[in-house]
Amino acid sequence: MADIIKRGQGFLYMKVGTHAQESLEDIIARKTKEIEDAGFAMWGYGGNTCHPARKVQPFARACAMTGSPIYLCMEKMDSKHFAEPLAADEWSADGVTWQAVPTGIEVRGSRYALVINNLRAEEFDISLHNTRVAIGDCVGQAGSRYIKGRVDKACLELAEPDLAVPEDRIVRINLVAELADPYAVYLRNKPSGS
């Protein structure tokens, strides 16, 4: 594994691919340009396993207290996400106070987004056997048991192997970014009439 994640350090794991009718290569190019122009990008996603306020934000704040960067480690996968490529108009860190998505930032077909910078290709393997779920109802569960079926993302911590979990899964990380405050946000389109 790359030296970017040390034992005891938290990181986000996410499978990525085609999203909202856009290829991963096009998404990467667009997000790279957003980071160059605005200093950050918003990486859209859905699903409650990485809910912004209940999981990602408290997890990321706790990780930030250690002074280490919080990495988003992404594994490429084949995807057929054909949701409408409608771009969000507004974002919120708390789901209450909303503001316009900054000019030059575009997030398509997503309920939530991770706030990222320093997006780059990086190749290394992670043993999910050596990870633990770091927040939520399944805290402490081996990543190799948690990441399966429709669960394709998680807040994890690199840990000692769990000898009680016989199966291991090695995942190939292809893309890495760093999370930036406020780490994860809600997205929406402007309410009708506004």
Classified as helix, coil or strand, 181 is strand
Question: Strand 10-16 and strand 153-158: pairing?
Answer: antiparallel
Q: 85-99, pLDDT tens digit by residue?
A: 788 999 999 999 999
Q: CA dihedral in degrees (169, 171, 177, 180; nearest 10)?
A: -10
- pLDDT at residue 183 tops 90: yes
Q: Is the CB of residue 50 less than 8 Å from the CB of residue 12? A: yes
Write down the pLDDT at residue 56.
Answer: 98
Handedness of CA 123, 44, 146, 59 (dihedral sign): positive
Contacts 24+ apart (CB under 8 A), 26-31: 28/119, 28/175, 30/106, 31/116, 31/119
Give the chain's mean pLDDT: 90
Going from the C-alpha of 86 to that of each of 20, 92, 99, 107, the distances in angstroms are 8, 18, 17, 8
Nearest Cα to Cα of residue 161 among 114, 121, 110, 126:
126
Q: 1-42, pLDDT tens digit by residue?
A: 557 888 989 999 999 988 777 888 999 999 999 999 999 999
Nearest Cα to Cα of residue 184 among 129, 113, 101, 103:
113
Ranges of H-type helices in 39-190? 57-64, 143-146
